[in-house]
Chains A and B, each alone.
Chain A
């Protein structure tokens, strides 16, 4: 009886030590779930979700504070991916959060006065320019977040939708008639 008790206590202590060691040795920095969510988000850093960037939104979702349907640039597909990742039901977009076609910002260089306000607003440093110098968008880096549009004092920034070209053309999903109706 006593022996059995001692064996159990010894076992418990041993396992406890192993677990304790493992928790220190294999410690994961940061929240791995938030990082996985962040990887799914489109990284436009637009703040349309109400958080200051994609990472804060991912952290809020991970903590259960935010809904999964707040990211219009991710599209419905983004919600599907988040739902799958988190094991929750799909939720359609709300009334005021509808996805828009992809676009890049365009600065009308004739109107630009070189105030640098848009440069300060750009979350991905995609605007080149300096004080009293003409600014321009680096289109390949622009995420289309629209954050540069409101600060412009002369309204010279517009969003130009990305048109289909040979370089980004995609084969369509096959569609065919099942029955000919005349």
Chain B
């Protein structure tokens, strides 16, 4: 029996899980249209690699990863891409993002499925395959799984997260109940890629069916995995907290679990890895809980890109439903519209009404009761963080480790003044991030500006140097020429250093030589008419000279008188 540990704080909100675990997972029918966003994972959005109008097969790559932290996107079914454009997605900002619209042809025809026998493969090859198959963390953070397998340090423990601590959500519970064998096979693949010995599967003790199913699957597989029931305590499903409970090791602030020799994957991720490696199926569907204010709460296996409205219609939302939440009631975000598509991160959609989730009373001032500090699982001082965030004192908030906050909402849940604490933390975090980016942009601009000035200065210098060199070279050449030719003829005493004078002298000498060399054609043997003409011209010229001299003399006196 594994000795369990405890993490600080935590709360016990009503779980509301039994509603959606009454019926088995149902495969959602093919919707008339699918909207597949290209940004479904942490990191860079995928780059579209299909054309509008192209026919695609199920599992065909439609978006390829860009950069290090990124993943692939695949066609969820066979059909035609009718548009690649901005569409509203499941994001609290209600801003649109690039999506591919896919009209299914109803055949659900698979493309090429490449299966692998992972035991002969290195971790590197497995990582590449998972990246090609678009496998990302399905626990909610959607971090590319291949990146999590690619670690420089030795990892000796693999923790599999089946805790599912948040109220209402049961997708992992149902997956473990019904597909435990696949999960265990997926865990073995991940274990093989990581090269760990110990595997701990943590499941909260409010899921006895899931624990039993997983135990049975592990026993049948004869892998030395340990299924551990952990006490139900929110937020025990946070990776760092589950690691603490199972191993007693606390992941330090700002560090990753791999730094303490542990790696953590969600059960659904393990299942997706199994499908990808042993069946060659990319991640094109997931289990999603539809619950809350609906007639038939249950879990669906739905294709990525299915509009939530289609799923909600299957479960029949009650008439007083006025909004929808993606995720759980503690950490979820309100959907901007119900027709936005399902993405890899969507574990649950809750139909909400004012009767189910009464609007919170107006916030009252903080009375510094520190109840929030008593439940904060990261051992922060939420009341201080709130104070700094609401007064825009971001530097201080960072000093108080704002970025260790996991936004679990336990503080806001217990706050007697009903202050929306997490909203303040999210606000402060995104402001700090934006400022950080601005600062980096400013530093870059400063660097580029300084380099530009340096460059201009350098160019100026180089130009001056080039000019000087040219002048020197010219002077030397001239000096040589002058001493050889001109100096002897005209000015034997010319100073070799006086380049300007030398040049003028040389030019004059050249001109004279030319003048001497050329004999005018028609100065001799002129006709009498020409002679008389020349004489006339000469006379005119003399007259003009005379006139000009007179005018100059006339001009002089008035100028002087004016001056006086």
By a beta-carbon cutoff of 8 Å, the part of chain A in contact with chain B is 38, 41-45, 53-54, 123-126, 141, 143, 164-166, 168-174, 176-179
Contact = CB atoms under 8 A, between A and B. Distances in A.
A176 B444 contact: no
A165 B86 CA distance: 11
A53 B449 contact: yes
A176 B446 contact: no
A180 B520 CA distance: 109
Contact of A43 (B430, B446, B452): B446
Interface string B416-439: 000010011011011100100110
B320 interface: no
Interface stretch (B91-99, B149-157, B397-405): B91-99
A172 to B, nearest CB: 7
Contacts of A178: 362
A123 B426 contact: no
Nearest to B418: A176
B58 interface: no
A43 B362 contact: no
A56 to B, nearest CB: 11
Contact of B445 (A143, A170, A171, A179): A143
Nearest to A142: B445
A172 B95 contact: no
A174 B424 CA distance: 6
Given A43-B445, A166-B39, A176 B430 contact: no
B449 A165 contact: no
B490 interface: no
B314 to A, nearest CB: 29
A145 to B, nearest CB: 9
A143 B452 CA distance: 14
A125 B426 contact: no
Nearest to A164: B95
Interface of B: 39, 91-93, 95, 97, 362-363, 420, 423-424, 426-427, 429-431, 434, 437-438, 441-446, 448-449, 451-452
Given A123-B452, A124-B445, A143-B445, A171 B426 contact: yes
Given A141-B448, A166-B93, A43 B443 contact: yes
B362 A170 contact: no
A169 B93 contact: yes
A43 B95 contact: no
Contacts of A141: 444-445, 448
Given A45-B449, A123-B452, A176-B363, A170 B430 contact: yes
B39 to A, nearest CB: 7
Contacts of B434: 168, 170
27 contacts: A41-B442, A42-B442, A43-B442, A53-B449, A123-B452, A125-B451, A141-B448, A143-B441, A143-B445, A164-B93, A164-B95, A166-B91, A166-B93, A166-B95, A168-B437, A169-B93, A169-B430, A170-B427, A170-B430, A170-B431, A171-B423, A171-B426, A171-B429, A171-B430, A174-B424, A174-B427, A179-B362
B449 A123 contact: yes
A43 B449 contact: yes
Contacts of B363: 176
B63 to A, nearest CB: 15
Nearest to B433: A170
Contacts of A176: 362-363, 420
A166 to B, nearest CB: 5
B408 to A, nearest CB: 16
A138 to B, nearest CB: 10
B95 A169 contact: yes
Nearest to B392: A173
A160 B201 CA distance: 53
Contact of B427 (A164, A168, A171): A171
Contacts of B438: 42
A2 to B, nearest CB: 57
Contacts of B442: 41-43
Contact of A174 (B420, B430, B445, B452): B420
Contacts of B424: 174
A126 B426 CA distance: 33
Nearest to B421: A174
B77 to A, nearest CB: 26
Nearest to B92: A171
A169 B433 CA distance: 11
Contacts of A44: 445
Contact of A125 (B362, B423, B427, B448): B448
Contacts of B91: 166, 169
Nearest to B96: A166
Nearest to B94: A169
A29 B516 CA distance: 68
Contact of A165 (B95, B430, B437): B95
Contacts of A54: 446, 449
A116 B91 CA distance: 43
| Of listed B443, B444, B446, residue having the most chain A CB within 10 A | B446
B86 to A, nearest CB: 10
Given A123-B452, A174-B424, A179-B362, 18 more contacts: A42-B442, A43-B442, A43-B443, A44-B445, A45-B445, A123-B449, A124-B449, A125-B448, A143-B445, A166-B91, A166-B93, A169-B91, A170-B434, A171-B92, A171-B429, A176-B363, A177-B362, A178-B362
A123 B429 CA distance: 32
| Of listed A165, A174, A179, residue having the most chain B CB within 10 A | A174
Contact of A124 (B92, B429, B448): B448
B45 to A, nearest CB: 9
A141 B427 CA distance: 27
A124 B423 CA distance: 38
Contacts of B362: 176-179
| 5 closest residue pairs by CB, A with B | A43-B442, A43-B445, A171-B426, A170-B430, A174-B423
B445 A172 contact: no
A169 B363 CA distance: 25
A143 B447 CA distance: 12
